[in-house]
């Protein structure tokens, strides 16, 4: 097994959602853990599946194009596409965790940044963080925890396969200080002039170094924190959208809605409606 997943214990081989179990915005239909996958799959699925390959390798063939599989990586099976994949060459088997979502969630998975229809295979950018969420999923599933919690762990798990590791900040103490300050004051857009001067940078140097380590500009990073809190309040409270906008540091509902749509691809009211639909019995 890849060094990041060595000695990983997964207590169950599969989990299936009960039809009456409420869930999150992205309700998972099922997941499974294959300790020794051998042989090839040759079929078309009616679901969208994420296969997290933790050890081994092989080949994935989609639309007559062959993609190399080398752990740790992720391979996606899109609904309705005939696919061929499995271990080969130097690998007699691989270890895999697969996540199964209903076909209807493809647009929302794409809007959430978890799925790129044209990219069926990608390397895990941060295997250490992926392992943390795999262990959380194993613990949750083995304890008969709420399906909605499993949904959120699975969503974060897929997201972590794409995110770059944060430890690079350990080599940039000044940037780490700026990051911590932005996190503490997340309701307020960052003042780059003040932050740069306080930590001994020019604004242009701060922007350049921040982009190389974090990957998105400071203002957009802070905006994601504010929208993240707004998403939580929309899902978990009956607070009016205008009140949520104010709590998240926006001048009014209009600016909150505009920013929310930019991040999620849908307005807050539609997001809340989708969450409530999936959280109600029979909504999955």
Burial class (CB in 10 A: 0-12, 13-18, 19+), 207: middle
Q: Is it true that 3-160 and 220-279 share their CATH fold? A: no
Supply the DSSP symbol for 171.
Answer: G
Higher pLDDT, 76 or 272: 76
Q: What is the pLDDT of residue 279?
A: 52
Q: How far apart are CA 52 and CA 160, in angstroms?
A: 11
Pick from 121, 125, 123: nearest CA to 67 = 121
Alpha helices in 199-252 (DSSP H): 203-213, 218-236, 241-247
Cα 194 to Cα 7, 21, 162, 176, 201, distances in angstroms:
47, 49, 32, 16, 10
Query: If you average pLDDT over residues 250-263, what whole number do you get?
Result: 90
Interval 120-166: pLDDT, tens = 999 997 788 788 888 888 888 776 667 888 888 898 899 888 876 55
- Options 2.60.120.280, 3.90.550.10, 2.40.40.20, 3.40.190.10; CATH of 3-160: 2.60.120.280
The domain segmentation of the chain, as residue ranges, is 3-160, 166-215, 220-279
pLDDT of residue 180 exceeding 60, the answer is yes
Longest CA–CA span in the chain (Å) reads 59
Share of the chain above pLDDT 70, in %: 90
CA distances from 252 to 125, 185, 255, 259, 268 (A): 37, 19, 6, 11, 13
pLDDT of residue 284: 39
In tens, the pLDDT along 5-32 reads 877 878 888 899 887 676 678 899 999 9
**Where does residue 86 fall: left (phi above 0), alpha (psi -120 to 50 degrees), or beta otherwise?**
left
pLDDT in tens, 41-72: 999 999 999 999 999 999 999 988 999 999 99
User: Is it the case that residue 278 has pLDDT exceeding 60?
Assistant: no
Assess contact for 11 and 33: CB atoms under 8 A.
no
In this structure, of 103-117, 179-193, 269-283, the range with the lowest mean pLDDT score is 269-283
- Tell me the backbone φ, ψ of residue 51, rounded to 5 degrees: -105, 110
Residue partners of 64: CB distance under 8 A and separation at least 6: none
The secondary structure of 3-71 as a DSSP string is GGGTT-----SEEE--TT----SS---EEEEEEEE-S-EEEE-SSEEEEEEEE-EEEEEETTEEEEEES
For residues 137 and 131, what is the distance between their CA atoms, to the nearest angstrom?
10
What integer best gives the mean pLDDT of the chain? 85
Tell me what pLDDT residue 66 has.
92
pLDDT band at 167 (very low <50, low <70, confident <90, very high): very low
Give the pLDDT confidence score for residue 282 in this predicted structure: 45
- Rounded distance, CA 109 to CA 125, Å? 19
Q: What is the rounded average pLDDT of the residues 241-261?
A: 93
**Confidence bin at 283 (pLDDT 50/70/90):** very low
pLDDT of residue 224: 85
pLDDT, mean of residues 89-100: 91
CATH architecture assignment, domain 220-279:
Orthogonal Bundle (1.10)
């Amino acid at each position: 097994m890849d060094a990041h997943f060595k000695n990983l214990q997964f207590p169950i081989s599969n989990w299936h959602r009960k039809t009456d179990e409420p869930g999150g915005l992205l309700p998972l239909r099922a997941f499974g853990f294959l300790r020794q996958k051998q042989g090839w799959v040759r079929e078309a699925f009616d679901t969208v599946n994420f296969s997290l390959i933790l050890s081994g390798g092989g080949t994935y063939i989609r639309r007559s194009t062959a993609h190399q599989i080398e752990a740790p990586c992720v391979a996606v099976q899109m609904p309705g596409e005939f696919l061929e994949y499995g271990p080969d060459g130097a690998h007699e088997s691989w270890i895999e965790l697969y996540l199964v979502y209903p076909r209807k969630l493809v647009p929302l998975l794409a809007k959430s940044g978890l799925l790129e229809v044209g990219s069926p295979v990608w390397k895990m950018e941060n295997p250490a963080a992926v392992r943390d969420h795999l262990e959380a999923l194993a613990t949750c599933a083995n304890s008969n925890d709420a399906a909605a919690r499993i949904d959120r762990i699975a969503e974060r798990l897929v997201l972590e396969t794409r995110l770059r590791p944060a430890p690079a900040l350990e080599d940039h103490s000044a940037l780490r200080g700026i990051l911590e300050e932005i996190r503490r004051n997340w309701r307020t857009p960052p003042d780059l002039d003040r932050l740069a001067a306080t930590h001994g940078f020019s604004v242009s140097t701060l922007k350049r170094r921040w982009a190389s380590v974090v990957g998105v500009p400071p203002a957009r990073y802070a905006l994601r924190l504010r929208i993240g809190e707004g998403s939580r309040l929309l899902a978990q409270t009956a607070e009016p959208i205008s009140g949520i906008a104010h709590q998240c540091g926006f001048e009014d509902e209009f600016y909150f809605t505009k920013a929310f749509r930019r991040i999620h691809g849908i307005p807050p009211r539609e997001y809340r409606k989708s969450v409530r639909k999936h959280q109600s019995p029979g909504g999955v």
